[in-house]
Structure 1
Amino acid sequence: MLSSGMKRLGTRKIGPVIVTVAAMLSPTWSWATAEQDPWENVNRAIFRFNDTLDTYALKPVAQGYQKITPELVQKGVTNFFNNIGDVANLANNLLQGKVQHAGVDTSRVLFNSTFGVLGVMDVATPMGLQRNNEDFGQTLGVWGVGSGSYVMLPFFGPSTVRDGIGLVPNAYMGPYPYMNNMGVRNGMYALDVVDDRANLLAAEKLITGDRYVFIRNAYLQNREYLIKDGEVVDDF
């Protein structure tokens, strides 16, 4: 079995080159097949576009952000956006019938939003309230919807047909559609994306060989792991 702690790792969202850290640490990649990636030629072209965009735009910005921003401030920003993400975790745990996890999510939001000063400090984790990692793509998987083929989305990165559909309700579980001030909304979203990318700078050093294949297999394996709550048997 894979490490049970793996399912608590990962990123808040998908981005241009978002590689799920939990999956990158997994020991097996061989199970991803051409059958799961029938659109590989198109996917590779989109991957090159995303990778170029990241190399010349997002990554340099993230590196600059990491360099000039004090580590304590970076941690506070990450905690703030994680606290917002816990609302989506709560909604999806309820939709999946995971009442106990939903209770943890509720407690995390309450404690971090109050004692943690709007989530800037994560006071819930030291209390034993571990963060969950749920989204609507996982919810559809729990409901029995198949993943469909692997697809590389422009700007959003690795996905499947099911997870791509799940991006729409995921968006409405966040704050951005409900923010009327366009400047504040765009600025907040931009900071969220840059913070996510900065958190992945160290992890991307783990990528070896064919970057496209590595990221595809990492994504597919981690999604299976999350949907099955860690009940995945190694290939070996």
Structure 2
Amino acid sequence: MKNLLMSFVLLAFGTITMAEDVDSFEVLNRAVFEFNQTLDEIFFEPVAKVYKESVPKTAQNRVSDFSSNLDDISTLGNEILQFKLFDSVSTFGRILVNSTIGLVGLFDVAGDIGLEKTDEDFGQTMAVWGVPSGPYVVLPVLGLSTMRDLTGTYVDITENVDVTKVLNITEETALLLVRAVDTRVKLLPATDLLKNSDDVYIAARSSYLQKRQFDIFDGNPPIEDDDF
């Protein structure tokens, strides 16, 4: 209940600060983006490359599958809130199969038997509820977002904390770092593409906003004239 109340406080704040300009905080956003880029070049990207090249692929797959199973738990809640009943039944099946036969999510057995993975977050849920995206924002370390997605990220993170509260601080921190590295490895191809852009900031912003539209409309976004 506390998490739900806090989410509505953040949502109210996001609604108040919404503006017609998709990037009304561009000056600040660019500064934070540059900071994140520097941090990524110095730390995250090198770590991701070492992880990808040094850790056996089998071990990497176990990390990815375990992380995916945790994400399915959040997805299930958001599918229920979006009244996607068929998808929620399928996701519940994935969680049940992977948490048991798949050894607590270390193996994606559900995918092997035809239970396809879907991804839903609270930012998408709010979009389905009709909440506007609000201005585009770049967060230190966390990266690209919007006011709506910022609220959604808070809710999703707190829900993940509830799921992993059986872990101690050291275990939870280790899990967070491993999942972060796994995510960064998956983004390596996109990083190479962005580096070839004339304006990396504009390219990253456009890619993020278009992907969010794609996610919200389940791969069939409406055609818009807006230039991100």
Relative to the length of structure 1, the TM-score reads: 0.81
Residue type matched to 1:204 in 2?
T
SS at match of 1:145: coil
The alpha carbon displacement at 1:35 in A equals 2.4
State which drifts further: 172-181 or 70-79. 172-181
Partner of 1:76: 62
Is 1:224 the counterpart of 2:210? The answer is no
Residue type matched to 1:160 in 2?
T
Structure 1 residues 180 and 75, CA, compared in 2 at 3 Å: closer, same or farther?
closer
Residue type matched to 1:40 in 2?
E
Flag the structure with higher helix content. 2
CA deviations on 1:132-180 (whole Å, 9 max, x unpaired) are: 1110000000000000010101111000011011111111221466245
Of 160, 183, 187, the match for 1:196: 183
The alpha carbon displacement at 1:121 in A equals 1.2
Partner of 2:101: 115
Residue type matched to 2:151 in 1?
I
Give distance in 1, aligned partners of 2:161 and 2:71: 9
Of 113, 131, 141, the match for 1:155: 141
Give distance in 2, aligned partners of 1:175 and 1:125: 25
Of 79, 82, 97, the match for 1:93: 79
| Structure 1 unaligned spans of 5+ | 1-33
The alpha carbon displacement at 1:219 in A equals 0.7
Is 1:212 the counterpart of 2:198? The answer is no
Q: Structure 2 matches for 1:166-185, cutoff 5 A?
A: 166-175=152-161, 178-179=165-166, 181-185=168-172
User: Which has the higher relative contact order, 1 or 2, with Cα contacts under 8 A spaced 6 or more apart?
Assistant: 1
Give distance in 1, aligned partners of 2:149 and 2:166: 25
Give distance in 2, aligned partners of 1:202 and 1:127: 29
Residue type matched to 1:227 in 2?
I
CA deviations on 1:69-91 (whole Å, 9 max, x unpaired) are: 00111011101110011000000
- Identity percentage of aligned residues: 38
- The structure with the larger Rg is 2
Give distance in 2, aligned partners of 1:203 and 1:148: 25
Of 150, 161, 176, the match for 1:164: 150
CA deviations on 1:175-213 (whole Å, 9 max, x unpaired) are: 466245111111111111011111222332222311111
Cα contact 1:87–1:173 (8 A) shared by 2:
no
Of 12, 22, 43, the match for 1:57: 43
SS at match of 2:160: coil
Residue type matched to 1:45 in 2?
A
SS at match of 2:145: strand
The alpha carbon displacement at 1:102 in A equals 0.6
RMSD: 1.7
Cα contact 1:86–1:105 (8 A) shared by 2:
yes
Residue type matched to 2:174 in 1?
G
| Structure 2 unaligned spans of 5+ | 1-19
CA deviations on 1:92-115 (whole Å, 9 max, x unpaired) are: 000111111111110001111111
Residue type matched to 2:29 in 1?
N
SS at match of 2:137: strand
State which drifts further: 93-102 or 164-173. 164-173
